[in-house]
Amino acid sequence: MVRIHDTLLGRDVELEPRVPGRVSIYVCGPTVYEVPHVGHGRTALVYDVIRRYLEWRGFAVAYVSNVTNVDDRIIARAAAEGATEQEISARYEATYWAELERLGVRRPDDVPHATEFIEPMVDLIAQLVASGHAYVIEGEGVYFAVDSYGGYGELSHRRLGDLLDSAGSRVDVDERKRSPVDFALWKAAKPGEPDWDSPWGRGRPGWHIECSAMSLELLGEGFDIHGGGDDLVFPHHENERAQAEAAGHEFARHWIHSGMVMIGGEKMSKSLGNFTTLGEAIDAHGDRAFRLAVLQVHYRSQMELGDTELRAAAEAVGRLDALVRRTVAAGIAVTGVPVADDVADRFRAAMDDDFGTPGGVGVVFDTVRRANSAIDAGDEPGAARLVATVVELAGALGLEVGAGETVAERDAEIDAMVAERDAARATKDFAAADRLRDELTARGITLEDTPRGTVWHR
């Protein structure tokens, strides 16, 4: 059984899906007004792995993640560049998905955009107005009356009184609101901004309402898991929940939140300007190093994710590929070999405990060592089994082992040089052999001499 840490309850609970065997997940995606940074990459990867693991575990997963494409910052960016909001959001959304694809993050089953769901949002707001949970301020918009919903604060573990005390201390409050903590469901149109028709005049939706409406629309009442970065717990998710439940809907059964990426001990964020773009990080260290670095830290913890961490992870990825090279060089066939059950059990135990990827990764690398030992010992069946297990379990985490060019790429010219060197070695002409190896090294080729011949990789 899979246990997950539920933010609402503040403890681990068994995942008992609404429909046995099927898990529905909604994860808050980015607002696309800038290129993604490594923090966005981590969050997307964390949920990608949760999705993959649940599937590996036998669940049918419905995975939805939205993109916010109407928002103050998009409008501001469009104005600054003399472009339309659609141009800005389309541009940065394209970058977002392109980078995630490089990371091997699978596309969600559905990617709703705020602008495509105006009608469900308006309907939801209308329900709230009709039931007295929301009110109109002329010329300003529609607001949610926080007082009217008794569960407010439960998700983020805040008392309404404390919220009222701190409201206004950091941000100006519109005194026409009934309570300083009330928030906008619908914002009245302003000149030059995108707007839509509504019973309250033209305008655009508030931020929180889009996720309430879209998650319910696509996944239905009482969907299983709602996730996102932990900076969204308050106010975003608190508000989403309040709106949906106040309107009479059964909202998410479980809430999960992932930790932030830190840089030099501070949260990485666009507003602080202390970010590395995701693309730069992948360029510098590779997609698998990025994935492994993320998996080596529990998803709920804050983590540093800079060059130091990525370099270390890249070295570790090299061990995975080296294992496959050694296996191939030793002539050990792995396809179709069943996994070692005891290892899979350890892996499952770690992962079932709130997606304990660091433990799972530990099991994988422990198995890498054992597999190498088995190869050294000439235990071919044992090695085959352990290597098959490594490939399988790493695959469950979305980590391809021995992928692509590192293993079996053919290159006639390099093969010829390697053959020439082998011939030189056979006649003990080591000067010539070393000269050839130096040439290859200069071209980024590393040679490994094995009992069954020389293999090379980049």
Partner RNA sequence: GGUGGCGUAGCCGAGUGGCUCAGGCAAGGGUCUGCAAAACCCUCGACGUGGGUUCGAUUCCCACCGCCACCUCCA
Residues in 343-382 that interact with RNA by CB under 7 A: 350, 353, 356, 358-359, 361-362, 365-366, 368-369, 372-373, 375-376
- The angle that helices 38-56 and 287-295 make with each other, rounded to 10 degrees, is 70
**Mask of contacts with RNA, 227-246, x by CB under 7 A?**
-xxxxxxxxx----------
Q: What are phi and psi of 211, to 5 degrees?
A: -75, -35
269 binds RNA (CB under 7 A): yes
Nearer to RNA, 22 or 320 (CB): 320
Query: Please, which residue, 248 or 453, has the CB nearer to RNA?
Result: 453
Residues between 94 and 153 that touch RNA (CB under 7 A): none
By beta-carbon proximity to RNA, the closer residue of 71 and 245 is 71
- For residues 291-350, which are near RNA according to CB under 7 A? 296-298, 301-304, 308-309, 311-313, 315-316, 318-319, 322-323, 325-326, 350
Q: Which of 15, 24, 25, 39 binds RNA (CB under 7 A)?
A: 39
Which one of residues 8, 24, 25, 42 is an interface residue with RNA (CB under 7 A)? 42
Tell me how far, at minimum, the Cβ of 305 lies from RNA, in Å. 8
**Smallest distance from RNA to CB 169, Å:** 7
- Single out the residue of 24, 31, 243, 389 in contact with RNA (rule: CB under 7 A): 31
Residues 346, 12: Cα–Cα separation, whole Å: 19
Among 16, 266, 280, 283, binds RNA (CB under 7 A): 266
Nearer to RNA, 120 or 360 (CB): 360
Instruction: Provide the minimum distance between the beta carbon of 315 and RNA in the complex, in angstroms, as a whole number.
Output: 4
Binding mask 52-71 for RNA (x = CB under 7 A): ----------------x--x
Q: Which is nearer to RNA, 109 or 353 (CB)?
A: 353
Under the criterion CB under 7 A, does residue 267 sit at the interface with RNA?
yes
Applying CB under 7 A, the site for RNA has a residue count of 92
* Residue 37: CB minimum distance to RNA, A: 7
Considering the rule CB under 7 A, would residue 155 count as an interface residue with RNA?
Answer: no
Under rule CB under 7 A, residue 170 binds RNA:
yes
Closer of 74 and 246 to RNA (Cβ)? 74
* 30 lines the binding site for RNA (CB under 7 A): yes
Residue 154 binds RNA (CB under 7 A): no
Strand bridging mode 261-263 / 3-6 = unpaired
Which of the residues 398 through 437 are near RNA (CB under 7 A)?
425, 430, 433-434, 437
Closest contact distance (angstroms) between CB of 61 and RNA is 19
| Complex with RNA: residue 18 or 298, whichever CB lies closer | 298
When the beta carbons of 132 and 331 are compared against RNA, the nearer one is 331
3-state SS track over the chain: CCEEEECCCCEEEECCCCECCEEEEEECCCECCCCCEHHHHHHHHHHHHHHHHHHHCCCEEEEEECEECCCHHHHHHHHHHCCCHHHHHHHHHHHHHHHHHHCCCCCCCECCEHHHCHHHHHHHHHHHHHCCCEEEECCCEEEECHHHCCCCCCCCCCCHHHHHHHCCCCCCCCCCCCCCCCEEEEEECCCCCCCECCCCCCEEECHHHHHHHHHHHHHCCCCCEEEEEHHHHHHHHHHHHHHHHHCCCCCCCEEEEECCEEECCEECCCCCCCCCEHHHHHHHHCHHHHHHHHHCCCCCCCEECCHHHHHHHHHHHHHHHHHHHHHHHCCCCCCCCCCCHHHHHHHHHHHHECCCHHHHHHHHHHHHHHHHHHHHCCCHHHHHHHHHHHHHHHHHCCCCCCCCHHHHCCCHHHHHHHHHHHHHHHCCCHHHHHHHHHHHHHCCCEEEEECCEEEEEC
Among 137, 167, 344, 440, binds RNA (CB under 7 A): 167
